[in-house]
Amino acid sequence: QVQLVESGGGLVQAGGSLRLSCAASGSIFSINGMGWYRQAPGKRRELVAAIASEGTTNYAGSVKGRFTISRDNAKNMVDLQMNSLKPEDTAVYYCNADITTTWGSRTSYWGQGTQVTVSS
């Protein structure tokens, strides 16, 4: 099957930085779009940043200029560099990937989530 494994979450002071990584593995034929979402308690899951297979990116207005999404197609990985972190960035961050499997099924897959906590 397909699995997305995330790493890099943790506790950081406001103004600090964290880098989240997500690696996809399994019966992957190709990966189309990839992205990072976040969800705080009591709130809906929201898109933070997305990157297409050709490299074009989109960011939520609240993170634009502070976060950078990147991908390594050869390694099936997507990263999120988070700088100038604010307490309102505190959430569980989820990796997402649009994957076509080796048997021809195109499906959106999710990582398990990693907690990011920013203290003031």
Whole-number pLDDT of residue 60? 98
Whole-number pLDDT of residue 81? 98
The percent of residues above 90 in pLDDT, for the chain, comes to 99
Nearest to 92 by CA among 5, 27, 9: 9
CA atoms within 13 A on the CB side of 27: 8
Show the DSSP H helices in the chain as ranges.
none
Residue 110 bridge partners (DSSP): 96
Q: What are phi and psi of 89, to 5 degrees?
A: -80, -10
Task: List pLDDT tens digits, range 25-82.
Answer: 999 999 999 999 999 999 999 999 999 999 999 999 999 999 999 999 999 999 999 9
